[in-house]
Amino acid sequence: MLLIDGKEHIKTCIFAHGAGAPMDSAFMQLVTQGLVDLGIKVVRFEFPYMQERRLNGKKRPPNRQPELIDCFASILAEQSGPCVLMGKSMGGRMASILASEQSQNPKILGVIALGYPFHPQGKPEKLRIDHLPGVTVPMAIVQGARDALGSQDEVLNLSIPNELEFLWLEDGDHDLKPRVKSGFTHQQHLEKTIQFCADFIKRCY
């Protein structure tokens, strides 16, 4: 099942969901509509486990990484032109792994991760960054400063490629949501995220 939003714009991103929510979650909808309003075509899809959940209503864990990558790659192959790969959390991680595995694929122009899962929650020693040096296209990460899967303090101390472009959202959590006491709102952070992503996508072209 695909959701293709926007007209046949030259500039296209493939937007993958995270581990727990489908392609039409509120977060995915808001970011997609924001990008479409800024002239980006957005292609959304669901990984096999999420497709099964939609059919039978039963929750199940994500597929193994090779299956997720194969699914993402098949969506990319269906596109008529080059794209920027984008994903929320797990989807962003899979986008970066696909880009590292297909570094010579001319269809991949860039990668965006929204809330990159640098490590599982509560397990900062289990890092998920070994493949990042293999991403040869531009890559951007939008991250909440207090993300439990990779806070700003943690990430700044990691050995990651200097070429990575970051947008840090003050007091944001893994869903980029700040606490009320921060003085920021989730809507403000999402608007900033959408503008940043649209600008990045256009630069990749």
Burial class (CB within 10 angstroms; exposed 0-12, middle 13-18, buried 19+) of 123: exposed
Q: What confidence tens digit (pLDDT) does each residue in 35-48 have?
A: 999 999 999 999 99
CATH of the domain at 45: 3.40.50.1820
Residue given tokens 């959940």 in the structure block: 53
Residue given tokens 């977060």 in the structure block: 27
Q: What confidence tens digit (pLDDT) does each residue in 159-202 have?
A: 999 999 999 999 999 999 999 999 999 999 999 999 999 999 99
* Domain, as residue range, for 119: 2-204
- Token readout for 177 is 């949501």
pLDDT > 70? residue 6 = no
Tally of domains within the chain: 1
pTM: 0.95
| pLDDT for residue 58 | 87
Beta bridge pairs of residue 84: 13, 110
Cα angle for residues 21, 27, 23 (degrees, 5° grid): 45
